[in-house]
Chain A
């Protein structure tokens, strides 16, 4: 392996180290024992096969699906910051369909739930796409704003049309047994993990082997150059990337309902849509890398719960580590770009 092929891994490790470093310093400053807290984090994520499968991998599934969605859009230079909202849209649709498919054979029921979730994700991002293509509204802001609309939609659903028949708690009735994903015996790990891995491989093939993948990359690198070339319909590529991105995030919501919670309620996601940005960036938008970073951040989320239980550190503290990791990846990219520029300048001078 040459230095260039190793660079992404070194960058990723450095970013992770920065994230944990900041977390450890923050813990020490607030009077916690960082060794104890980070130890609890490690045990919460990797302590046993059960915690790894039932806590870490279960959280990795939505992170991989949403991370793939974020990466797909980012590849085309379209910043979908609304995966959280699309996840919820998918979860609402999945719950609604899942409640009504009691009599269906399992495969069909799961297919219906997933399709509904995917479609809901697409619909949830459709308006931001329209605003972007027709009016030039930055998709960053519009997809962000739609996250808050999704929160309100879930709140409405679980106190209104989708509220449980008993009408006591703000949550839905559980979906039909036929719509639930099979579990790995003795654990809470569900079949969604296979879907996540398969989709990552499919996207990797699409990105690297097809004209569509090439177009995404061309538009992402320079929309103007792509437009000037005259052979790439920039707006269509952008719109397509965002819609597929929404589809994956919506599917993520459907998988969470059919594999983990079976019911809809508020705060179903601990911010998966935002963590997915870190997942995608740390993997440098590479679909296979996203499997790895998805598991890593799944471990971080699972470990955060362990840290809260054992060391009394609020779980939200790991978001600081996540933010640091994103910033570190951005900084590493800047440094890499400068090094490349210097190399080119040195060559020119020689």
Chain B
């Protein structure tokens, strides 16, 4: 392989690896937003998933970690659902509070379980699984088809979410709920149940996103390690226009922008590294400015 091809392969592989947790979290958030629920607790659910995956993986291997992460994400989303859907409290503020609480809870549990110094945990992680034959395609093969299992899970969720939203009765009920809960209720849709289920599903995917971050990307847990990825996922939902395929493309864009960082560093560009740290947030703001207005949010979002 020539040097340039190797750089390109590395770049693509990194872009996809980085985009995977964003894709998972954004797909989940899309489900509850399509049902009219905006959940700012997605950051908290992701963080809880990250810690749970570390605990689970340390005890029973990578898949146990992923499972525990899903449960943790559902638990966090469950608290949000009880307050914001069950009691109909303000969604924005309760979501913010849930994230705040999750930061505290994960930080406290982490320090109690692993000590304040927080030495890097060594966890069993998800190794890359090459898909036979197609992983041998030059450049694309090793970058796209030699990824950890959770990446394939995330990609398979895209057509699945599309089919669910646009081809199944429950998907129709979910979209109807998000557009007009009164009309949906009048036609027999159990509106609150749909919203709760969508929110729990969103939490499950956010938890899995946290697990991906720990078990397929970073390899360890650190306090506040999600660093706003949950909020970026919300921006990705807007940029992807609440559509599974749009969200896949938007997540890839963010992954690519992040992966550029490594490419630039490899080139030895002398700019402050904080500039790269800021890039995803700046990109999210740009995306929001450009996408809002053109994209149509579910009419009942946040109500």
Residues of A within 8 A of B (CB): 26, 30, 79, 81, 127, 131, 135-138, 140-142, 144-149, 152-153, 155-156, 159-160, 271, 274, 277-278, 281, 313-314, 316-320, 322-324, 326-327, 330-331, 333-334
B103 lies within 8 A of A319 (CB): yes
**Chain A min CB distance to B291 (Å):** 9
The closest CB in chain A to the CB of B93 belongs to A330
Q: Mark B233-252, 1 if CB is under 8 A from A, else 0.
A: 01100000000000000000
Q: Mark B94-125, 1 if CB is under 8 A from A, else 0.
A: 10111011111101110110001000000000
Q: Most chain-A Cβ atoms within 10 A of its Cβ — which of B93, B272, B282?
A: B93
C-alpha gap A142/B234 in the complex (Å): 11
> Of the candidates A79, A131, A140, A153, which one forms a contact with B289 in the assembled complex, judged by CB atoms under 8 Å apart?
A131
* Chain B contacts for A316, CB-based, 8 A: 103-104, 107-108, 111, 223
A30 lies within 8 A of B112 (CB): yes
6 closest pairs, A vs B, by CB? Answer: A319-B104, A323-B101, A316-B107, A330-B89, A326-B97, A317-B108
> Of the candidates B107, B108, B227, B281, which one forms a contact with A146 in the assembled complex, judged by CB atoms under 8 Å apart?
B281
Residues B266-303 near A (CB distance < 8 A): 272, 274, 277-278, 281-282, 284-285, 288-289, 292-293
The closest CB in chain A to the CB of B232 belongs to A145
A156 lies within 8 A of B104 (CB): no
* Chain B contacts for A136, CB-based, 8 A: 292-293
Q: Would you call B88 an interface residue if the criterion is a C-beta within 8 Å of the partner chain's C-beta atoms?
A: yes
> Of the candidates A137, A156, A271, A281, which one forms a contact with B288 in the assembled complex, judged by CB atoms under 8 Å apart?
A137
Q: Would you call B182 an interface residue if the criterion is a C-beta within 8 Å of the partner chain's C-beta atoms?
A: no
A318 lies within 8 A of B227 (CB): no
SS class of chain B's interface: helix, strand, loop or mixed?
Answer: helix
A324 lies within 8 A of B101 (CB): yes
Given contacts A79-B92, A79-B93, contact A131 B272 (CB under 8 A): no
B285 lies within 8 A of A152 (CB): no
Given contacts A155-B277, A323-B97, contact A145 B104 (CB under 8 A): no
The closest CB in chain A to the CB of B79 belongs to A327
> Of the candidates A145, A152, A277, A324, which one forms a contact with B284 in the assembled complex, judged by CB atoms under 8 Å apart?
A145
* Chain A contacts for B284, CB-based, 8 A: 141, 145
A333 lies within 8 A of B100 (CB): no
B228 lies within 8 A of A152 (CB): no
Chosen A-B contacts, 5 in total, with CB atoms closer than 8 Å, are: A79-B93, A131-B285, A148-B227, A317-B108, A320-B105
* Chain A contacts for B107, CB-based, 8 A: 314, 316-317, 319
* Chain B contacts for A127, CB-based, 8 A: 285
* Chain A contacts for B102, CB-based, 8 A: 323
> Of the candidates B94, B100, B293, which one forms a contact with A330 in the assembled complex, judged by CB atoms under 8 Å apart?
B94
* Chain A contacts for B282, CB-based, 8 A: 149
Residues B214-233 near A (CB distance < 8 A): 223, 227-228, 231-232
* Chain A contacts for B231, CB-based, 8 A: 141, 144-145
Q: Would you call B253 an interface residue if the criterion is a C-beta within 8 Å of the partner chain's C-beta atoms?
A: no
Q: Mark B105-149, 1 if CB is under 8 A from A, else 0.
A: 101110110001000000000000000000000000000000000
B272 lies within 8 A of A274 (CB): no
C-alpha gap A331/B93 in the complex (Å): 11
B93 lies within 8 A of A313 (CB): no
* Chain A contacts for B234, CB-based, 8 A: 141
A331 lies within 8 A of B288 (CB): no
**Chain A min CB distance to B52 (Å):** 16
Q: Mark B7-18, 1 if CB is under 8 A from A, else 0.
A: 000000000000
**Chain A min CB distance to B301 (Å):** 10
Given contacts A142-B288, A316-B104, contact A323 B92 (CB under 8 A): no
C-alpha gap A320/B223 in the complex (Å): 15
Given contacts A152-B278, A319-B101, contact A145 B92 (CB under 8 A): no
